[in-house]
Amino acid sequence: MHVRIVGLGPIGTRFAVESLERGHRVTAIDIDQSRLARVAADRNDPLNRYREANAPLELATQPSPGAGCDVTRICVGTTGADGDFDGSSVDFALGALEPMLAKGELVAIESTVPPFSTQTRFRAILESGGRIVGEDVFLVAAPERTDVARSRDESIPKVVGGVTPACTRRGVEIFERLVDTVVPVRSAAVAEAAKMLENAFRFVNVAFANEFAEALAAAGLEPRDVVAAAATKPFGFMAFWPGTGIGGDCVPLAARLYCDFAVTTQTEAAIAGAALRSDALAPQRILRRIERAAGGQAKRVLLLGLSYKSFARSTAWSPGARLARFLVERGLQVDIIEPALTRLDDGSLGTLVTAETLRQPYDVAIVAAWNEEVGAILERKPATVVLDLSGSPHV
């Protein structure tokens, strides 16, 4: 099977690797030439390893006519510069692909989008050249579900909803060759709304956990101890671990999408709205924890990890970066260790250091996101006070 993947961020890259592992031919497209150059130059990049092994992999900046693909998977980002939804990247990708789609090709929208986007907005683009969706080409919403703690995502059930019943059938047929379990649903809008629910649910609960953690810490209790104790209840509870805030492309966007969806449906999203406001206050809460833990004497802070969550390689919408910027604005000296970065493009975050250039001792070390260097650095006792705010326990 020939799989075309549009968007080589962390999600598209994982999907490309999984498709190659299953023996499929892959064409990976990203309009960012520098991203493709990094793939080709980084010997540790999984796609580069397949490329050097002469696997059936093609990297390109634009689709080519006559490619004869069975499926195109749209994996581009949809979070705008202001944090709200921006579907222009999906529009652009579909507009470029529309003249080149093969007869019977499946187009799968895996990016996070509002309900009914696939049925209306994206279907219109695919039919703009005279094709009929559901007959000439097929269109489904199949939102990505990615867990960075897993080495593979293909074992995660895949929700697939088409804009017509024929589209759903074609989607199931294709994805059964790409993942272990396919879950067909009534429509594309159901699939889109399911993704919105999954991630808005997570946002609300993590925001609550972060709020609750400050009250526990102020009372002299370790928040992780309390969550771990509650997690022993075998029913009616799901553990959400407090951290520095909520980041990444999908989870904060879903909460915003739900608030917008409530406006369009003339309903209320009071809880999600409160969670968004609460998350915006996370840096202030953490500064109060720092001051209490250090007796009000914290001036020098070491921030460990700038990815949006532990073990992720992306710094998209990083709550750690938001915290660093806030602390610098409050006059603290902030040094940052993040092995995925070689420089900080944003000078307002502080100073990027390495394990060799640490300027210890620090007043406080904050583990914002666990990575492969954190354990060894903590063994060196770089600070008088250590706050592990990296989410679920890793050691």
pLDDT band at 16; cut points 50, 70, 90: very high
169 and 295 assigned to the same domain: no
pLDDT at site 148: 73
Burial of 325 (0-12, 13-18, 19+ CB in 10 A): middle
- The C-alpha angle with vertex 68 and arms to 66 and 73, in degrees rounded to 5, equals 115
Is pLDDT at 225 greater than 60 in this prediction? yes
Give the pLDDT confidence of 319-363 residue by residue, as tens digits: 999 999 999 999 999 999 998 888 888 888 999 998 889 988 999
- Of all residues in the chain, what percent carry a pLDDT higher than 90? 76
One domain, residues 6 and 120? yes
The answer to whether the CB of 286 falls within 8 A of the CB of 334 is no
In-domain check, residue 321:
yes
Q: What is the mean pLDDT of residues 85-89?
A: 96
User: 358: exposed, middle or buried (C-beta count within 10 Å: 0-12, 13-18, 19+)?
Assistant: middle
The C-alpha atoms of residue 233 and residue 231 are separated, in whole angstroms, by: 5
Judged by average pLDDT, the poorest of 153-157, 158-162, 267-271 is 153-157
Residues 211-235 have a mean pLDDT of 96
Token digits of residue 18: 């999984």
φ, ψ at 339 (rounded to 5°): -65, -20
Rounded-to-integer distance, Cα 254 and Cα 252, Å: 5
CA atoms within 13 A of residue 291's CA, in its CB half-sphere: 10
- 356 vs 277, residue with greater confidence: 277
Statement to judge: residues 13 and 150 lie in one domain: yes
The tokens 């520098």 sit on which residue?
34
Segment 111-159, tens digit of pLDDT: 999 999 999 999 999 999 999 999 999 999 999 998 876 667 778 999 9
Same domain, 73 and 221: no
Cα separation, 341 vs 306, whole angstroms: 9
Q: Which pLDDT value is given to residue 41?
A: 80
Instruction: Print the domain residue range for 345.
Output: 197-388
Model pLDDT, residue 377: 92
When the pLDDT of each residue in the chain is averaged and rounded to a whole number, the result is 93
pLDDT at 305 over 70: yes
- Per the domain annotation, does 132 fall within a domain? yes
**End-to-end CA, the chain:** 41
The shares of helix, strand and coil residues in the chain, as percent rounded to the nearest 5, are 40, 15, 45
Interatomic CA distance for residues 364 and 289, integer angstroms: 11
Whether the pLDDT of residue 291 is over 70: the answer is yes
Each residue's pLDDT tens digit, 89-98: 999 999 999 9
The answer to whether 104 and 166 are in contact (CB under 8 A) is no
Number of domains in the chain: 2
Q: Do 259 and 152 fall within a single domain?
A: no
**111 domain-assigned:** yes
One-character DSSP codes across 280-311: HTHHHHHHHHHHHHTTT---EEEEE--SSSTT
Task: Judge whether residue 395 has pLDDT over 70.
Answer: no
217 sits in the region (left: phi over 0; alpha: psi -120 to 50; else beta) called: alpha
Average pLDDT over residues 171-200: 97
Final residue in a domain of this structure, among 131, 164, 186? 186
Please report whether residue 264 resides in a domain: yes
203 and 280 in a single domain? The answer is yes
Question: Are residues 282 and 155 both part of a single domain?
Answer: no
Q: What is the mean pLDDT of residues 27-37?
A: 90
Same structural domain, 124 and 268: no
What phi-psi label fits residue 341: left (phi over 0), alpha (psi between -120 and 50 degrees) or beta?
Answer: beta
Query: Could you identify the residue written with the tokens 């620090």?
Result: 362
Is the domain of 272 the same as that of 353? yes
Does residue 44 carry a pLDDT above 80?
no
* Interior/surface letters 263-272, b for 16+ CB within 10 angstroms, e for the rest: eeeeeebeeb
pLDDT at site 112? 97
